[in-house]
Structure 1
Amino acid sequence: MSEPIRVILAGGGTAGHTSPLIATAEQLTAAGPVEILCIGTPKGLETRVIPDAGLSLALIPPVPLPRKPSGDLIALPLRLRTAVREAKALLREHRAQVVAGFGGYVSLPVYLAARAEKIPLVIHEGNVVAGLANKVGARFADAVVTSFPDTALPRARQLGLPVRAAIAGLDRDSRRAEARAHFSLPGEGHVVLVSGGSQGARSLNAATAAAIDRLLADGISILHVVGPANLTEDVVPRENVATAAVYRPVGYVDDMAQAYSAADVM
């Protein structure tokens, strides 16, 4: 049996970084012997979703990258030096042969550690507009791949967005009744799923709020993932008695396969 490839996967903060990381880990595991260590920070979504996916997770201090003068900018050199030192130690301890990064506050220290340790670095950018950590890392990465064709990163190739097996192979019809019951949605009628990502999106939330009455009057129910910080006291479930359509706001959805199964369109 061949020796396993020793891989570091770095990314976190939001589902936009953790979901493709977990999907990549699934594909690597399916492809052959591999030992994966994920690196995140204590403040991100990764502290929950990565262990829940059965993956090993190590933590280093977050390094926010301010875009204008602030206290974070003054503290940046020391924070970065500390985080890079801890990332180097993890790469050495894991005896990493390749590092793949997906963005977020954890990524830049890991990218710099990989460069210092002369370990091949692959960066995946999942957004149309690249994050600052990936913009910096792309300058010296061995390979850069993107989800979208127009993402402006040097030497980038469009690969697409890694998708978890539970989503790619989802049988929505067989799960629909259970999924709708889980979200307290009607068993019959159409359901629209609205999601602006794990943190929500203000413009999308505002547009949805303006359309609630009209959609419910037309018999269309809404499952709205508003983002944890946006689930305030005035964002409440609603129902149109005449059509039985409902509005169900939630802060965050752990199992997006269940949300997709409940909906007819997103």
Structure 2
Amino acid sequence: MTEARPGDADASRAQSQVGDTVEGSRAEGSPERAKPAPTVVVAGGGTAGHIEPAMALADAVMRLRPDARVVALGTARGLETRLVPERGYELELIPPVPMPRKPTLDLLKLPVKVADSVRRTRQVLDRVNADVVVGFGGYVSLPAYLAARGRVPIVVHEANQHAGLANKVGARFAARVVAAVPGTSLPGAEVVGIPLRRSITALDRKSLRAEARRHFGLDPDAPALLVFGGSQGARSINNAVSQAAKHFADAGVSVLHAHGPKNTLAVQEFPGRPPYVPVPYLERMDLAYAAADLVLCRSGAMTVAEVSAVGLPAVFVPLPHGNGEQALNARPAVDAGAALLVPDQELTSDKVAELVVPLVTDPERLARMSAAAVGLGHKEADEVLAAMVLEQAEGRRR
């Protein structure tokens, strides 16, 4: 999932235009002082659902301001320790502040933990000379918001309709509050969508299909199902789909199944039939989407946005915990006819056999679902948000 860093054609043209402007001003005897390079701090650690939009924003910032510096905040136990360096950005680690879900002794220790994390985060902001802090929710964002309050402009991005505690706190003193979908609980939020990688928003699934299937060892011609349960996997999805392996084999369907790095998956093999390919984690989501005709997955906000952006028909299985936000995330795609929704408790191998197998082998229905995805989401959300962020950063430097 490595993205290209600054230096694409748009950035080169922008730099050329800036250079022409400066040279022209000098020729007229009125030299302009170059704007100081901004430092943008992004806080979105923990899961891929928080990290990926932060990295997509970082890429967009670098396209608009190739001289900018982007620093990510994270914790030692999150996926950011791998994903952020892979994307070429600086990572500063701070103590996590997980919020207890139930009244326990940990709740009594929370003020001390928060104070320590805020102090450490403030040291980072001072050391990197932060001009703006952008938070995407989660336990990394809360200390970032509190450390930046009154010192550095804050921009809050909320991916779900029901905001979490961190973003509710940050929105109280943020310069800008933006949301992925309408109807968020944060007052005054502007709807911009979710920042997505350009490798996703510009993906041509059809032209990459053959390469993608070779990459994963899938049958070049058979219908293909992509399965994943978020960055950590999902046991209910793993069990239901893997236990339907014979149904897929009998129907001539290939399966690419990301079961999660901490899980194992034993799948019966059927020689002479399209392969069932289990992998711990998908490094190349663009190729995974290109290889598939249908996806069965959770419906986190980031996942729904990516699946809709690439026009991939989906069977969403919302996470059964939390405040129901995953079902809400899936609703626009379901209502548009681009996806189906199956409650987690109803997902069994029999349900997979009776619903998913007939769907993945019906090209006409899949084509209608793919067409229905057109227009869902906001493909330019990354640069729209980046422009807002840079405006705040440059305003602080004036």
Equivalent in 205, 225, 232 of residue 192 of structure 1: 225
TM-fit CA distance, 1:39: 0.9
Aligned counterparts, 1:140-159, within 5 A:
140-159=173-192
- CA distance 1:201–1:129, shift in 2 (3 Å): farther
- CA distance 1:72–1:254, shift in 2 (3 Å): farther
- CA distance 1:76–1:180, shift in 2 (3 Å): same
Cα distance in 1 for partners of 2:180, 2:248 equals 32
TM-fit CA distance, 1:211: 4.2
Does the 8 Å CA contact 1:60/1:87 hold for their aligned counterparts? yes
- CA distance 1:246–1:130, shift in 2 (3 Å): farther
The one-letter code matched in structure 2 to 1:70 is T
Does the 8 Å CA contact 1:238/1:248 hold for their aligned counterparts? no
Does the 8 Å CA contact 1:125/1:145 hold for their aligned counterparts? yes
Does the 8 Å CA contact 1:217/1:240 hold for their aligned counterparts? no
Cα distance in 2 for partners of 1:106, 1:199 equals 18
Cα distance in 2 for partners of 1:40, 1:262 equals 32
- CA distance 1:222–1:151, shift in 2 (3 Å): farther
2:36 maps to what in 1?
Answer: 3
1:220 maps to what in 2?
Answer: 253
Structure 1: stretches of 5+ with no match in the other structure: none
1:113 maps to what in 2?
Answer: 147
Does the 8 Å CA contact 1:194/1:224 hold for their aligned counterparts? yes
- CA distance 1:207–1:153, shift in 2 (3 Å): farther
Taking only the aligned residue pairs, the percentage that are identical comes to 49
Equivalent in 275, 291, 297 of residue 262 of structure 1: 291
TM-fit CA distance, 1:181: 2.7
Instruction: Report whether the alignment pairs 1:126 with 2:164.
Output: no
Instruction: Report whether the alignment pairs 1:51 with 2:77.
Output: no
Q: Secondary structure at the match of 1:76?
A: helix
- CA distance 1:132–1:246, shift in 2 (3 Å): farther
Equivalent in 54, 71, 86 of residue 37 of structure 1: 71
Higher deviation after alignment, 122-131 or 3-12: 122-131
TM-score, length-normalised on structure 2?
A: 0.61
Instruction: Report whether the alignment pairs 1:91 with 2:121.
Output: no
Equivalent in 157, 169, 187 of residue 136 of structure 1: 169
Residues 37-91 of structure 1 deviation map (CA, whole Å, 9 limit, x = unaligned): 1111111000111111011111111111112122432221111111100111111
Cα distance in 1 for partners of 2:140, 2:94 equals 7
Q: Secondary structure at the match of 1:189?
A: coil
- CA distance 1:253–1:199, shift in 2 (3 Å): same
TM-fit CA distance, 1:260: 1.3
Aligned counterparts, 1:171-182, within 5 A:
171-182=204-215
Indicate the structure (1 or 2) with the bigger Cα radius of gyration: 2
CA RMSD of aligned residues (A): 2.0
Q: Secondary structure at the match of 2:139?
A: coil
TM-fit CA distance, 1:145: 1.6
TM-fit CA distance, 1:227: 2.2
Q: Secondary structure at the match of 1:83?
A: helix
Cα distance in 2 for partners of 1:132, 1:199 equals 22
> How many residues are matched?
261
Does the 8 Å CA contact 1:239/1:245 hold for their aligned counterparts? no
Cα distance in 2 for partners of 1:67, 1:146 equals 24
1:250 maps to what in 2?
Answer: 279
Larger % of strand: which?
1
2:94 maps to what in 1?
Answer: 60
The one-letter code matched in structure 1 to 2:102 is K
Does the 8 Å CA contact 1:237/1:246 hold for their aligned counterparts? no
Cα distance in 2 for partners of 1:136, 1:204 equals 34
